[in-house]
Amino acid sequence: MYYSEENDLSDDEDDYCEFPDDILKEFEYDKKIQTIITFKNYIKHSPEFIGIKNMSSSKLLNIIESNESNEVINYNNYLYDEQIKLFDNLYKELYNINGNYLLYNSISKKIFNIIYI
């Protein structure tokens, strides 16, 4: 049980294993869920979004991923500047892109339809 060079694993060996695709997808999903949880923790302090804490993170992720950017919506002003910044940060973390105000407005409308039953 003493150290010997035979037991030494060097970094040069190709003994590394790769994760299967389903495990990689699960890692990506978990990362998205953690991003949604962080988003919810910040936005729940806005009076309009106080009910978001009762919405599951997976449901919110489903709303975001299923939202179509070409969806016709009314031009109601649902969001304040601080909330838009939170949505910007969310989209940067999830997709590495900036969304737009109409997209955020559409998502907010769907959230409000759920939390204000």
- The domain containing residue 92 runs over which residues? 18-115
The per-residue pLDDT for range 21-63, each reduced to its tens digit, is: 888 899 999 999 999 999 999 999 999 999 999 999 999 999 9
Distance CA 101, CA 117 (A): 24
Distance CA 60, CA 58 (A): 5
Distance CA 44, CA 86 (A): 11
Number of domains in the chain: 1
Tokens 């936005």 appear where? Answer: 43
Q: What is the DSSP letter of 50?
A: G
**pLDDT above 70 for 89:** yes
The pLDDT of residue 99 is 83
Percent of the chain scoring above 70 in pLDDT: 79
**pLDDT above 80 for 17:** no
Judge whether 9 lies within some domain: no
Tokens 């910044």 appear where? Answer: 85
Distance CA 110, CA 60 (A): 9
What's the pLDDT band for 77 if we cut at 50, 70, 90? confident
